[in-house]
């Protein structure tokens, strides 16, 4: 769902000054969340817009949203402190922002590096369907990506797929294999707020057939040693995700929020010729993770 910002709210937010955020460990401090909420609920139609966002992410049939903050980005600058505070305040109405990476205090830059592994988030190739922090016992409930600059050459559309719908189309035998703790991917080092390393792990945890995590990354098919039967089941899921994918291009100021219990995400390849684009002009996203409050996880 694409959610526009009503004109009267946008005008009010441009003139609204939010204070710098404070962190409690790796999480946005409760005092900051309360201060932001107090400031923004005084603006016209903020609560209505926040409720629409929450429903898009957790209501029946939902699971992702693109908050269209382009007008605010144009007025305040996508790299401006006020713009980032407003974006943070919006998603703080849904869950608690946090950073699992000590090197990044809250938001993480995802730029483009032509010499990086092409399949990585900062690479130039196809970034296959995955959930973020797949090998933590407590993955983020939401992953979010704020578009500062799209690919100036026109590539790199975002892709999303309803993971539970994909699982439902699998054979019974494949689902049984995916429920076994036979999968592993990636490293786990100096991370905050995502539990302990989970290795090996089941792709289907069995806790909630319609709303639990489906711990999947298509990258494990090429970068992890899996036995033939379990690899075939994972490959079948990867194919179903592609069959059901949604594709769209993020524009400057678009803020994609994904409920990781419902959707997996990825990105098509960037357009060829990235080496000719100055680093300062290449695609740039900012990433932020969200943790649902205890006892208030994303609705199934």
What domains sit in the chain, N to C, each tagged with a CATH number?
A: 2-291 (3.60.130.10)
Q: Give the model's pLDDT for residue 299.
A: 39
Q: Give the model's pLDDT for residue 78.
A: 86
Low-confidence ranges of the chain (pLDDT < 50): 297-300
Residue with tokens 């699992």: 100
Q: Give the model's pLDDT for residue 190.
A: 87
Closest CA to 265 of 232, 287, 295: 287
Q: Give the model's pLDDT for residue 295.
A: 53
Write 200-207 long-range contacts (CB < 8 A, 24+). 201/134, 201/135, 202/178, 203/178, 203/179, 203/234, 203/237, 204/167, 204/175, 204/178, 204/179, 205/179, 206/179
Q: Which helix or strand (DSSP H or E) is residue 160 part of? A: strand 158-162
CA Rg value for the chain: 19
pTM greater than the 0.75 cutoff: yes
Q: Give the model's pLDDT for residue 140.
A: 97
Q: In Å, how far are 7, 52, 90, 231, 255 from 39, measured between CA atoms?
A: 18, 19, 12, 51, 21
Q: Give the model's pLDDT for residue 1.
A: 86
pLDDT, one tens digit per residue, over 184-222 is 998 898 899 999 999 999 999 876 666 689 999 999 998
Cis preceding-peptide flag for 200 (omega within 30 of 0) = yes
Angle between helix 46-58 and helix 7-14 axes, rounded to 10 deg: 110
């Amino acid at each position: 769902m694409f959610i526009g910002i009503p004109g009267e709210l946008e005008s009010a937010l441009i003139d609204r000054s939010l204070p710098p955020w404070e962190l409690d460990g790796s999480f946005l401090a409760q005092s900051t969340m309360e201060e932001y909420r107090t400031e923004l609920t005084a603006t016209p139609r903020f609560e209505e817009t926040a409720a629409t966002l929450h429903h898009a992410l957790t209501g029946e049939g939902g699971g992702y949203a693109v908050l269209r903050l382009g007008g605010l980005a144009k007025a305040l600058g996508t790299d401006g402190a006020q713009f980032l505070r407003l974006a943070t305040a919006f998603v703080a109405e849904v869950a608690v922002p946090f950073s699992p990476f000590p090197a990044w205090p809250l938001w993480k830059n995802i730029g483009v590096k032509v010499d990086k592994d092409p399949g990585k988030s900062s690479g130039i190739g196809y970034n296959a369907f995955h959930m973020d922090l797949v090998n933590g016992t407590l993955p983020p409930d939401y992953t979010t990506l704020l578009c500062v600059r799209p690919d100036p050459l026109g590539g790199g559309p975002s892709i999303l797929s309803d993971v539970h719908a994909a699982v439902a189309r699998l054979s019974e035998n494949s689902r049984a294999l995916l429920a076994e703790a036979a999968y592993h991917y990636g490293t786990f080092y100096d991370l905050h707020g995502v539990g302990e390393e989970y290795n090996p792990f089941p792709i289907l945890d069995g806790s909630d057939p319609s709303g639990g995590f489906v711990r999947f990354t298509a990258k494990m098919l090429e970068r992890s040693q899996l036995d033939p039967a379990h690899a075939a089941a994972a490959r079948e899921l990867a194919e179903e995700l592609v069959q059901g994918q949604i594709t769209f291009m993020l524009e400057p100021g678009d803020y994609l929020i994904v409920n990781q219990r419902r959707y997996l995400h990825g990105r098509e390849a960037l357009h060829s010729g990235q080496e000719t684009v100055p680093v300062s002009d290449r695609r740039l996203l900012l990433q932020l993770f969200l943790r649902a409050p205890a006892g208030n996880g994303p609705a199934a």
